[in-house]
Amino acid sequence: MILAVTLNPALDITYRVDTLRPHATHRVREVAERAGGKGLNVARVLAQLGEPVLATGLVGGITGARLGTLLGTIPHAFWPVAGEARRTVTVVDDREATGFWEPGPTVTADEWERFVGHFQSLLPSVRVAVLSGSLPTGVPQDAYAQLIRAAQAVGVRTVLDADGPALAAGIEAGPDVVKPNVDELGDDTPRELLKRGAKAVVATKGEEGMEVVTEQGTWRAYPPERVYGNATGAGDAAVAALARGLVRDAAWSDLVTDAIALSAAAVAAPVAGQFDEDAYARFREGVHVEEMAHRAAVRVVCLDTDGRILLMRWRDPANGETLWEPPGGGIDDGEEPIDTARRELVEETGLNPAMIGEMSVAVHRDTQWNGRRWVGVEPFFLAKFPSARPPVTPAELTADEQRNLVESKWVHWSELGDLEGRLEPPQLLYIVRRLAPNDLRPRLDD
């Protein structure tokens, strides 16, 4: 069974309008009232999938009593508190949603201690515990860390979906899966969350799909099509898929396929906590997953003094797609990274290898995979050039490489959003934003 924990549940009210216009009066076409909060959305999706689930959390007051009624046949074991449970209001039109979230009750130290005991009493019949959402006032910031350690003590796996201090403290307890979105990651990367204690990180990126990062490898998955609708519960649907996958010990490629398909199908449903079953079945057939096990560390990007990055545009021989990537490759046995960088620069660009210094080579991946050590380097370099756009001429490419090469050029960060083809890796723009000086930050709308 899966235990879905919602420490700050809410009475979710959804208004559907024709078109949402700021500062205007709207005539509501439809009103939906549901028991909500991230964990309860997870529970509802799991119930629709036919997966055994039990919902728990902290509820209080008249609103809290209403939550239990609205859950219907979904099993629940809430713990009562004196404060009034919160409400959320979501206004939805045909393209997007706007939400208004109340803060929730104030929980006393005694109420929290009693809930922890209640949580522990539920664990004997649980295989995976999902810990989702914000913390109500009074609950300690390490609340999720406490629950993760309690679950670990009896062999229960955990999925954490939170943000801010609650996420940071929870990660240190070593949850089996952490599911941040781009905003929750902030300036961190999935690899950095692994170093802090998470066993696996599933970073959701909206229309750009998901990235799964573990010590064993990295997987990227892309949705089959763009879906319009209510995205409020999409992340919760993804968490439901992740929890179900852990119960079944699914392979990461299967698990992330299910997570993307289910989250997209949730966008197509009218309210959070539901998914369109026909869309779910269709999406599962179209999700594209790539195993990128060699990307076990963050790619470090160096800029020249004009803020330029060396990128080459290639045609993927497997699927014909075009992509942009820096030159670089694996280190041969006994070879130093600086030697590899100089060799790769000559082979792939024809530029003078003497331009590369020890401090301008970035080792960006180092991992064990399939019994071999894989290390890659990028021959980035910082230098003053005689012209704004130094010529780049690929040299000594094989016949296959020559056929697959589309073009190569110097590209300024501000032009990255205008490139046709998929950037490789997709986090390249993000890392440039982190490392570039303030006056070289990329346009965020790209």
Q: Which residues are catalytic?
A: 236
**Phi-psi region at 48: left, alpha or beta (left = phi > 0; alpha = psi -120 to 50):** alpha
Q: Is the separation of the CB atoms in 189 and 218 below 8 Å?
A: no
Distance separating alpha carbons of residues 229 and 38, to the nearest angstrom: 18
Tokens at residue 389, please?
Answer: 């756009």
DSSP string, 19-88: S--TTS----SEEEEEEESHHHHHHHHHHHHT--EEEEEEE-HHHHHHHHHHTTTS-B--EE-SSPPEEE
Residues in the chain: 446
Distance separating alpha carbons of residues 12 and 36, to the nearest angstrom: 5
Q: Would strands 97-101 and 86-92 be described as parallel, antiparallel, or unpaired?
A: antiparallel
Helix (H) or strand (E) holding 348: helix 337-349
Number of Cβ within 10 Å of residue 415's Cβ equals: 16
Distance separating alpha carbons of residues 153 and 303, to the nearest angstrom: 47
Helix (H) or strand (E) holding 203: strand 200-204
Tokens at residue 315, please?
Answer: 């045609």
Cis amide linkage into residue 190, ω under 30° from 0: no
Distance separating alpha carbons of residues 257 and 209, to the nearest angstrom: 10
Q: Is the separation of the CB atoms in 2 and 54 below 8 Å?
A: yes
Distance separating alpha carbons of residues 442 and 446, to the nearest angstrom: 8
